[in-house]
Structure 1
Amino acid sequence: MESDSFVAVHEWLHHHGYWLGPIIALAAFVESLVAIGFLIPGVALLFALGVLAGSGLMEPLPMLAWAFVGAALGDGISFQVGHHLHGRIRNCWPFSTHPGWLEKGERFFERYGGLSVALGRFIGPIRPVIPAVAGMMDMSPLRFYIINLLSTAPWAVAYTMPGYLTGAALKLDVPQSFYYLLVGLTLVSLLIAYLGLILDRRFCRKKLILLLPVSFVVMAHISLLLLTVMDVSGQFDDHNARMHSFIASISVPIVEYISGLVTWLGSALILWMPLVLCAVYFLWCRRYKKLLIMSACLAGMEATLWLMKWGIDKPRPADFDGLDQFSFPSGHTTQATFVWLLVTLYLVAAKRGIVKFSAYSCAMMIALMVALSRLVLEAHWFGDVLAGLLLGSIWFSAAVAAERVYFNEKILKPRIS
């Protein structure tokens, strides 16, 4: 029966495809709406709609855009409801009969503050109430909408892309090695985040707050220098060729199409959005030192990137048609690594445990996926993306060190008794 229903819906949408986008937006809107989200199986519904889109009815970018708009509007209305009703919302249905739903959201907000707006999206039992709770708690509207917009994009990807990929996989033969590669990148992301946080915590307990970022800057500089020498001298050519052959074996049309979307996460057009939002927030809160550090490290990263590109002047792989023909290092990979790690630093600065681990794992996964997309699109060689990962991480670590120098003076300069 379920299969027959799916076929019937697919057949109807095949002839009325223009309705799929608004239906996805409506599902995301209702799933995000205060209280109503408890009554709607949002995850299952959006997954099913993603399967329909992936079966050939819609391209992934419009699907993500519709889901983004619906979720952002739903959360925005929920915030306004909480902001205007405040404590009176407790007397409204369904909270009047299920007060525990609201209490869970309040406890979560008290624990994680503004970050709960982003985290709550991915936690089913509290997702429909967190925006309303943020309004009840008199969270700044500007801060709410900045966090809301920043977190809606990854939410749309997480809730709709699995269904889209499932629908696409039903009609396309994706190499099994591609799935193994994704699992490997996920494990690497988790391992890097785990080791980095564990080491940093131990050093900070010993008042060595600059040891990890400064040590990484030094070691990454040495590694980048060796990689540059090997790449320029041709010693890395065999590794580039082997990786190029492997990537060619998994580059089926759907993988190339998804890579074309993922690579936008490392483009200047997309990366300026979180940077501008952070800059506006720092100006609003008068955190001028943070804005100065962010701007200085961003300028340093871009200057270093382009000096290396122009100085080394390494050609890209054959037949690449882009804005520039400088291959080493990868600009998209460098920028994605630096920006997404830096934004994560600002979002989870006061958090601990699983929150930090999850956030940094996601940021690292984005950087690695952007690097992979540049290889699939034949925009760069393997050595180029490795250099990009190192260069972006160097400037992120420099930003961490600068933050700690300016904002941890009591630790760096203990009181003299």
Structure 2
Amino acid sequence: MSNTLATLTHWLDPTTLMAVLSDHPIALICIIGIVSLLESLAIIGLLVPGVVILTAGASLAGHLALPLPLLLISGAMGAIIGDGISFWLGIRYRDQLHGRWPFSRHPEWLEHGQQFFHRHGSWSIAFGRFVGPVRPIIPLVAGMLDMPPAKFFLVNGLSALAWSPAYLLPGYLLGQTWQSLFTLPEGADGLLVGVASGLIFCAFAFSFLRRQLGREGRLYHWLAHRLRKTSSGRRLWWQLRHPDPEGEFPLASMALLVFAVISVPAMSLGALAHPAPWWIDRVAASLAKSVAALFPEGLLTQASLVLSRVADGTGLTMLVIPWLAWLLITRRHAIWLHLMAGWVGIACANTLLKYLIQRPRPDTPAFLEGSMSFPSAHTAGAVAVFGLAAAFIAERQPSSHRRWIYWGAIALCTLIGLSRITLGVHYLSDILGGACLGLLGCALVRISYPAFARQSSALSGNPTPLLLLSACSLLLLAARLLWLPL
């Protein structure tokens, strides 16, 4: 067993993967073709983060100086075959698609595809290839609506020849030129590949779980059925759905809780056992210095300082004060108490972990004298505030809109975490530990709140007060950035 795990770890190591792909360039070209096929395939293209994978793969191909024509041909052929399979499926199952999963649960996907096809005719095959939400649906619809195969494959082939360079060439050129812009520190190749692979995996897992653990997901219904078979499960289901029986059971939050409960102790024990900077910490710090050298002197540092001020205790307080006051005035006591308990609990847990682990900072400015490094309080606070805000805002939004709210919060928290590395006051592992701690607080609040809430939605109602509150938060934050010291 130990030998198997060692072998698996060896092959999953980013440096090993890069070495293998360097020795077998045809494998990378085939991977690009397969991903292009999946990106164009009906339904699967909606789930696979193809653009991210193609950009990363093309960048790696440029870095390895693989032949560009072969790369473009592979991408075009994959797109042609993927669309061709979707077209055949539309012809073969035209009368059954509306009753088959996932169209039985999401009939709007076919409706949007049909509207797009009727609006643009044969050109929809070419236009749709560049329009994300309908890209994997249009060939299926074309087959359903009896588009002549000769016309389909003509437009399909010509559009794929334009699509391939549009999607692959930027990444390829980036992979060829980044080394001329700055020199990567030793080990950064492996870290970048590992981070890119992790982001791709997380994006795919997040997209899949967001759909499946939502109220319309199959996994949601299967787990709900299993949970309600036992008396304890029925009691838990009733408590977390009461007093809103039509609301969602927080399965996604429970999955997040399991992840956080495992990751927070694991990372804390790792930092306690090895307080010195880890390999990824050293490489990330060196990489941050190399990136900073690309910008005018002090520009990246100033931008990082602004982000840090947004996410310090004073900045986050400025953001949440109007909302907490409004919740009290409107007597939304349940959410007020949960938010306060979550944020205060994270602050206390962060302080306790810093005291117990005692990891020194990579650099300690005068205003941080005596403050420890692990975990990052800025990151934990940002994840708790922006993560909970995204969750409550997305709560009653259509499923198609939720992802943009969540990804916006993720992007902001990521920038705040990276700003701490750029300033040299935290290691990468500190940022990851803080993020996990913030997610733990978010999960606990989202699981507990439905059992005590009296409103169907914490932020439902007239949007005007919400816009005014957002404006007040931004004004207070601007005042903090302009007048209050760090």
Q: How does 1:264-283 map to 2 (within 5 A)?
A: 264-283=309-328
User: Structure 2: which amino acid aligns with 1:340?
Assistant: F
Picking from 287, 294, 304, the partner of 2:349 is: 304
Deviation string 1:156-205 (CA, Å, 9 cap, x unpaired) is xxxxxxxxxxxxxxxxx975989x99999997886575345223303555
Give the Cα separation in 1 of the matches to 2:399 and 2:252: 18
- Structure 1 residues 174, 258: CA separation in 2 closer, same or farther (over 3 Å shift)? farther
In the other structure, the counterpart of 1:234 is 274
User: Structure 2: which amino acid aligns with 1:199?
Assistant: Q
Deviation string 1:331-362 (CA, Å, 9 cap, x unpaired) is 10000011011112232321122321111111
User: Structure 2: which amino acid aligns with 1:318?
Assistant: D
In the other structure, the counterpart of 1:290 is 335
Q: Which has the larger radius of gyration?
A: 2
Quick check: 1:399 aligned with 2:437? no
* Gap regions ≥5 residues in structure 2: 1-179, 225-236, 238-248, 457-486
Q: How does 1:349-368 map to 2 (within 5 A)?
A: 349-368=395-414
Give the Cα separation in 2 of the matches to 1:263 and 1:186: 23
Picking from 305, 310, 332, the partner of 2:378 is: 332
- The TM-score, its normalising length taken from structure 1, stands at 0.51
In the other structure, the counterpart of 1:249 is 290
Give the Cα separation in 2 of the matches to 1:185 and 1:258: 26
Give the Cα separation in 2 of the matches to 1:186 and 1:265: 25
Give the Cα separation in 1 of the matches to 2:372 and 2:404: 34
Give the Cα separation in 1 of the matches to 2:289 and 2:307: 18
Give yes or no for contact 2:364–2:425 (8 Å, CA) kept in 1. no
Give the Cα separation in 1 of the matches to 2:280 and 2:207: 28
Displacement of 1:379: 0.8
SS at match of 1:270: helix
Give the Cα separation in 2 of the matches to 1:283 and 1:376: 38
Give yes or no for contact 1:189–1:364 (8 Å, CA) kept in 2. no
Deviation string 1:349-405 (CA, Å, 9 cap, x unpaired) is 211223211111110111111111000100101110010010001101111101222
Displacement of 1:258: 1.8
Give the Cα separation in 2 of the matches to 1:288 and 1:408: 9
Deviation string 1:16-67 (CA, Å, 9 cap, x unpaired) is xxxxxxxxxxxxxxxxxxxxxxxxxxxxxxxxxxxxxxxxxxxxxxxxxxxx
Give yes or no for contact 1:265–1:366 (8 Å, CA) kept in 2. no
Give the Cα separation in 1 of the matches to 2:395 and 2:434: 25
Picking from 191, 194, 198, the partner of 2:207 is: 194
SS at match of 1:241: helix
Give yes or no for contact 2:316–2:382 (8 Å, CA) kept in 1. yes
Quick check: 1:220 aligned with 2:265? no
Give yes or no for contact 1:190–1:361 (8 Å, CA) kept in 2. no
User: Structure 1: which amino acid aligns with 2:381?
Assistant: Q
Give yes or no for contact 1:185–1:365 (8 Å, CA) kept in 2. no
RMSD over aligned CA atoms reads 3.3
Deviation string 1:107-148 (CA, Å, 9 cap, x unpaired) is xxxxxxxxxxxxxxxxxxxxxxxxxxxxxxxxxxxxxxxxxx
Give the Cα separation in 1 of the matches to 2:391 and 2:357: 31
Deviation string 1:296-348 (CA, Å, 9 cap, x unpaired) is 11111111011111121111003534335210000100000110111122323
Give the Cα separation in 2 of the matches to 1:299 and 1:309: 15
Give yes or no for contact 2:183–2:290 (8 Å, CA) kept in 1. no
- Structure 1 residues 218, 187: CA separation in 2 closer, same or farther (over 3 Å shift)? closer
User: Structure 2: which amino acid aligns with 1:226?
Assistant: A
- Structure 1 residues 282, 409: CA separation in 2 closer, same or farther (over 3 Å shift)? closer
Give the Cα separation in 1 of the matches to 2:419 and 2:357: 23
SS at match of 1:260: helix
Give the Cα separation in 1 of the matches to 2:447 and 2:209: 14
Q: How does 1:200-215 map to 2 (within 5 A)?
A: 200-201=213-214, 202=217, 204-205=220-221, 207=224, 209-215=249-255
In the other structure, the counterpart of 2:391 is 345
- Which 10-residue stretch deviates more, 228-237 or 347-356? 228-237
Give yes or no for contact 2:271–2:359 (8 Å, CA) kept in 1. no
Give the Cα separation in 2 of the matches to 1:283 and 1:322: 34
Displacement of 1:279: 1.1
- Structure 1 residues 348, 210: CA separation in 2 closer, same or farther (over 3 Å shift)? closer
Give the Cα separation in 1 of the matches to 2:266 and 2:339: 28
- Structure 1 residues 321, 354: CA separation in 2 closer, same or farther (over 3 Å shift)? farther
Deviation string 1:66-122 (CA, Å, 9 cap, x unpaired) is xxxxxxxxxxxxxxxxxxxxxxxxxxxxxxxxxxxxxxxxxxxxxxxxxxxxxxxxx
Deviation string 1:199-218 (CA, Å, 9 cap, x unpaired) is 33035556472433223223
Give the Cα separation in 2 of the matches to 1:174 and 1:335: 34
Q: Aligned residues, how many?
A: 237
* Gap regions ≥5 residues in structure 1: 1-172, 411-417
In the other structure, the counterpart of 2:96 is none
User: Structure 2: which amino acid aligns with 1:197?
Assistant: R
Give the Cα separation in 2 of the matches to 1:355 and 1:314: 41
In the other structure, the counterpart of 2:43 is none
Give the Cα separation in 2 of the matches to 1:192 and 1:273: 34
User: Structure 2: which amino acid aligns with 1:269?
Assistant: T
Report percent identity of matched pairs.
19
SS at match of 1:355: helix
- The TM-score, its normalising length taken from structure 2, stands at 0.44
User: Structure 1: which amino acid aligns with 2:283?
Assistant: R
